[in-house]
Structure 1
Amino acid sequence: MDLSHLGAPIGPMTRVHGGFANRMYRLDTDQGSFAVKELNLDDRRRTYRVGDVFRFEQAAFAAGIPMPEPISASDHLLIHRWVDGQKVPEAPVPAAFALEIGEILARIHALDVEWTEESTEDPTPRDWPELAARAAATGQPWADELASHVEAFLAIAHFVDTCERPGPVVLTHKDIQPWNLLARDDRPVVLDWELSGMLDLAGELGSTALGLAKGPGFDTIEPTSFRSVLDGYVAGGGALPPSGPSWFVFTIAGWLGHTRWHILRCLAEVEPSTGPDLALSHEVVRDGVQGLPDVFRRLPEFEALLS
C-alpha cells in the first residue's frame, strides 16, 4: 500500500486487533499518527460507497462533530488521523454521555450532504435450515445450537421483512455503538463511519439508545441511559418518530445479517486474508445464535422503554 502522502515513517506500522469487519493499523510518521483501515473487499455484505462516505465524513468533521479527521480514501484503504482516548465499555453509559450522543445524532441528521438514493434491499435470506445442515455436516462447534433455533431465525427474518417503518429516513452513521466510540475527557468521539447511509430515523435512534444502555448481553438495560439519548436528540433540535417495533428492527436485522455473514466465513473453514480472524468469526456466531432469539422474544420489553 502506498502511504507516502502521510510522511516518513518513524516506526513499523502495527496491527490493531478487534475489528469485526476490516483490519486496522497504526502508522506513526514525521507528520503525525494515522489510523490505516484495510477494507475487506473479498466477502463484504454490501458494496462500500467510498466516495459518498468520505464526503459525508468531511462534512461532519467540518461541522465540528467529534470524530477523527478524515485524511484520504481509496477503494481499499481508509485513513484518518489517530485519536487517543479510552475504549467505551459495553455497559450502560452515564446519562451525560448518552445525552451528548443524542445531540451529536441530531447534528449529523441536520447536515446538508448530497447522497445518491440507495436501491431497495433484497429480502432477508431464509436459508437458515440449509446453514444449520452445513454446520452439522462440517462439525461446527455451534451447530447444535443453530439447529435448535432455526424456526426462531426464520421468524426473525419474517419480522425484519414485514415490520413497518414510519420514517422519516435520514442520512446517518448507522452504527454508533460502544465499539465505535472513544471517550476523551469523558466525552464521546465517533469512529468508523463506513456503514453510513440512509436509514429510518426510528431504527437509528433505537439502535443507538439500546446499544448505549445495555451490558454485553441484554440482561442489564439502564432506562436512564436509553432516555438520555432521546432527550439529547430533542435538545439538539431533532424530533422523535412514533413509538413501535420499528425502533428495534434495524438492531435485529443488523445482528441477523452480521451473524449470517460470520457463519459463512466459518463454514469456509479457511483463515481469511482480510477482515476478522476466523476465531473472532466463531465468537460472533456463538453470540448471535445464543442472543438473537432472546432479543426477539424481548421486543415488548424494549418497546416499553419508549413510554
Structure 2
Amino acid sequence: MNVAHLGTPTGPMTRVHGGFANRMYRLDTDRGSFAVKELNLVDRRWTYRVEDVFRFERAAFAAGVPMPEPVSADRGTLVHRWVEGERVPEAPVSAAYAVEIGGILARLHALDVPWPEASAEEPAARDWPELAARAAATGQPWADELAAHVETFLAMAHFVDTCERPGPVVLTHRDIQPWNLLAREGRPVVLDWELSGLLDLSGELGSTALSLAKGPGLDDIEPAIFRSVLDGYVAGGGALPPAGPNWFVYMIGGWLGHTRWNILRCLAGVEAGTGPDLALSHEAARNGVRGLPDLFGRLPQLEALLP
C-alpha cells in the first residue's frame, strides 16, 4: 500500500478487525489520523469502480452527508479521514436516528453525479446442491443445515432473477447497514461506500429500513422504526415507490451472493492473504445458511411493513 502522501507516521499502522470484505488499518501521521482500506482484489464478487465511487463520495461529502472525508483512492487502497464514533449494534435504532438515515438517502438520490450505465446482472447461482455436497464431504460445521435448505436456496435464486423491479433506479450507497454506520453524539455517520452504484429505489429503501428496524434475527422487527426511515426519506424530498416484494429482493439477493462467496472461501479451507479472515467467513456462512431461509419465509410479513 502506498501511503507516503499521508505524512510522516507517528506510530505503526494497526489492523482494525471485523471487515466483511476488505481489510482496514488505522494510520496516525503528522497530518492526522486516517482509515486505510486494503481492497480484496483476489476474489471480489464484482468489479470495483474506483474512480466512479470516489467521485460519488466526494460529491456526497461536499453536499454535507455525514461521512468520513474521502482522501484518496487507487486500484487497491482507499483512504479516508479517521472518524471517531460508536459502532451501531445490530438492533433497532432510535426513531430520530432512522429519520436521519432516511433524509441522508433522499439527499444522496438527489445528487447529480455522472455514472456509467449499469451492466446486466448475472443470474443468481444455482449450484447449491453441489455446494451442499462439498460441504458435507469436507465436514463443514454448517453442512447439515445447508443440505436441509437446498430447495429454499434454489427458490431464492429464482425469486431474485424473476421478481419485477419497476424502478426508479437511483445512484446510491447500496449498503447502509448497522455495521457500516457510526453514531457520533447520537447521529449517523455513513461508512464503507465501496458498493455504491445504481439500484432500484425500492431495494435500497427496503434493505436500509429493515436492517435498522431489527436485531440479528427477524423476531424483534419494530415497524415504527421501519416507517421512520421512510418518513425521513419523504421529509427529505424523496418519493416512495409502490409496495411489493421487490422492496426486499435486493437484500435477499445480496445476502445470497455474500453467503455463497463465504461458503466458497470456507470450502477452500485456507487463510487468504486478503479479504475476511477464515473464521469470519465461517461465521458469515453459518449466519446465511440459518438466516436466509427464515428471511425468505417471512416475505409476506415484511410486505406488511410497507406503506
Q: Could you state the TM-score of these two structures normalised by the residue count of structure 1?
A: 0.99
Q: Distance in 2 between matches of 1:2 and 1:147?
A: 45
SS of equivalent residue, structure 1 residue 34 = strand
Match of 1:159 in 2: 159
- For residues 47 and 149 of structure 1, the distance between their equivalents in structure 2, rounded to whole angstroms, comes to 30
Give the SS at the match of 1:84: coil
1:54 CA displacement: 0.3
Deviation track 1:26-62 (CA, whole Å, cap 9, x = no partner) reads 0000000000000000000001000000000000001
Q: Counterpart of 2:105 in structure 1: which amino acid?
A: L
- Unaligned segments of structure 2, at least 5 residues: none
Corresponding residue of 2:25: 25
Cα distance per residue 1:263-286 (max 9 Å; x no partner): 000010110100000000000011
The residue matched to 2:274 in structure 1 has which SS? coil
Once the two structures are superposed, residues 113-153 of structure 1 have per-residue CA deviations (whole angstroms, 9 ceiling, x without a partner) of 00001210111110000101111111111111111100000
In the alignment, the residues of structure 1 paired with residue 258 and residue 143 of structure 2 have an alpha-carbon distance, to the nearest angstrom, of 17
Aligned residue in 1 for 2:303: 303
Aligned residue type for 1:188: P
In the alignment, the residues of structure 1 paired with residue 87 and residue 271 of structure 2 have an alpha-carbon distance, to the nearest angstrom, of: 27
Matched, 1:237 2:237: yes
Root mean square deviation, CA, Å = 0.5
Deviation at 1:225, TM superposition (A): 0.7
Residues 1-307 of structure 1: pairs in structure 2 closer than 5 A: 1-307=1-307
Partners in 1 of 2:212 and 2:104 — Cα distance?
14
Structure 1: how far apart are the matches of 2:81 and 2:118? 29
Separation (CA, whole Å) in 1 of partners of 2:58 and 2:2: 22
How far does the alpha carbon of each residue in 1:242-274 deviate from its partner, in whole angstroms, 9 at most, with x for none?
Answer: 000000001100000000000000010110100
Query: How far 1:2 moved relative to its partner?
Result: 1.9
- Aligned equivalents of 2:108, 2:283: Cα separation in 1: 32
| 1-structure distance, mates of 2:145, 2:90 | 25
Q: Secondary structure at the match of 1:91?
A: coil
CA apart distance, 1:170: 0.2
Paired AA for residue 220 in structure 1: D
Distance 1:205 1:118 in 2: 19
Aligned partner of 2:156: which letter? Answer: I
**Over 2 Å off, 4+ runs:** none
Identity %: 79
In 2, Cα distance between equivalents of 1:269 and 1:192: 27
Consecutive unaligned residues in structure 1, runs of 5 or more = none
Distance in 2 of aligned mates of 1:58 and 1:233:
22
Q: Secondary structure at the match of 1:283?
A: helix
Q: CA deviation at 1:4?
A: 1.1
- Looking at structure 1, the residues matched to 50 and 172 of structure 2 have their Cα atoms a distance apart, in angstroms, of 15
How far apart are the structure 2 equivalents of 1:272 and 1:217?
Answer: 29
TM-score, scaled relative to structure 2: 0.99
What is the CA–CA distance in structure 1 between the aligned matches of 2:122 and 2:4, rounded to whole Å?
40
Paired residues in the alignment total 307
Find the aligned partners of 2:257 and 2:126 in 1 and give their Cα distance: 11
Distance 1:18 1:208 in 2: 20
